[in-house]
Structure 1
Amino acid sequence: MSHHNAILLLGSNIGNQKKNLEIAFESITDKNIVILHKSKFLYSEPVEFVSSNNFCNIALRIETDLSPIQLLNSLKEIEISMGRLVDSGNTRNYSDRVMDIDIVSYDNLVFLSKRLEIPHYRHLYEREFSRLLLDSLFLNRT
């Protein structure tokens, strides 16, 4: 089995956001995905929609033997199990959410499908909070 490195961004803006992220970490490792490094937690305002609930975000560097689509499916299962009802990736209508997990990169792969874009352009180039998390991930490995 080959091992792949990927970067994930997680965010929560409903309930106890930090606790939600910790539950997501456990769920990720339950899927036989190894968390190699975590960034610092970062609080940010919602992007692309209006809400009075700020997000708690974190970036993870992981190792997996799952393909990109298998990884996406596993992460979507986690989101749903935590109470996410609407996948904004499909609707492009953003709203408050218990858990949001995005694949930012996967090895050096360039991949584009209806469900998945790798690398995740908006997180790499358009969203300031994402860049801060990614910088933190590589500068402050914990």
Structure 2
Amino acid sequence: MSQQKVVLLLGSNLGDPQKNLEVAMEKLESGNIEILKKSEILISLPVEFVSSNIFCNIATIILTDLSPIQLLNFIKGIEVEMGRIDDSRVSGGYTDRVIDIDIITYNELNFISERLEVPHKKHLFEREFSKILLKNLSRKT
């Protein structure tokens, strides 16, 4: 498969969130993923759940030869490896997390399965912190 341009959004609000983002980015690169750009880190309050832990978030553009589902499996593996035990799709709601990695866009692909929807409409159109990160990412050279 040829190289695909993908936008990911990463967030963390447990432990050392900024360090968690750095570790997750290193793990992405160790999986033969090239990071082309990354946004500035944005601090935000939790969205769609209540917590006293604030989030560190970052958006990144990557190149990968993984299919959407292969990429999803890879990033879910990173989340588990870093200590994330509950996935919002499984638990039915959002909670604090060591790391969360979402696929926002995958080239121009429109893809819907039981486990993945691309583009990620909540991040593109509803969540203000996501829109800020994505705008920041598009301005970076």
Q: TM-score range by the shorter chain?
A: over 0.9
Could you tell me which residue of structure 2 aligns to residue 47 of structure 1?
A: 47
Could you tell me which residue of structure 1 aligns to residue 29 of structure 2?
A: 29
1:96 maps to a residue whose letter is D
Could you tell me which residue of structure 2 aligns to residue 9 of structure 1?
A: 9
Could you tell me which residue of structure 2 aligns to residue 140 of structure 1?
A: 140
2:126 maps to a residue whose letter is E
Identity %: 58
Write the deviation string for residues 62-85 of structure 1: whole angstroms up to 9, x where unpaired. Answer: 000000000000000000000000
Cα RMSD of the aligned pairs, angstroms, is 0.7
Q: Distance in 1 between matches of 2:88 and 2:56?
A: 18
Residue 48 of structure 1: CA displacement?
0.6
Equivalent position SS for 1:60: strand
Q: Distance in 1 between matches of 2:8 and 2:92?
A: 19
1:111 maps to a residue whose letter is F
Write the deviation string for residues 30-73 of structure 1: whole angstroms up to 9, x where unpaired. Answer: 11010000001000000010000010000000000000000000
Gaps of 5+ in 1: none
Length-normalised TM-score, structure 2? 0.98
Q: Distance in 2 between matches of 1:15 and 1:124?
A: 27
Note if contact 1:3-1:63 (Cα within 8 Å) is conserved in structure 2. yes
Within 5 A, what are the aligned runs for 1:1-142?
A: 1-141=1-141
Q: Distance in 2 between matches of 1:91 and 1:119?
A: 22
Residue 140 of structure 1: CA displacement?
2.1
Q: Distance in 2 between matches of 1:34 and 1:99?
A: 19
Q: Which runs of 4+ in 1 moved over 4 A?
A: none
Residue 93 of structure 1: CA displacement?
1.1
The 10-residue stretch of structure 1 (85-94 or 19-28) with the greater mean CA deviation from structure 2: 85-94
Gaps of 5+ in 2: none
Q: Distance in 2 between matches of 1:68 and 1:7?
A: 12
Length-normalised TM-score, structure 1? 0.97
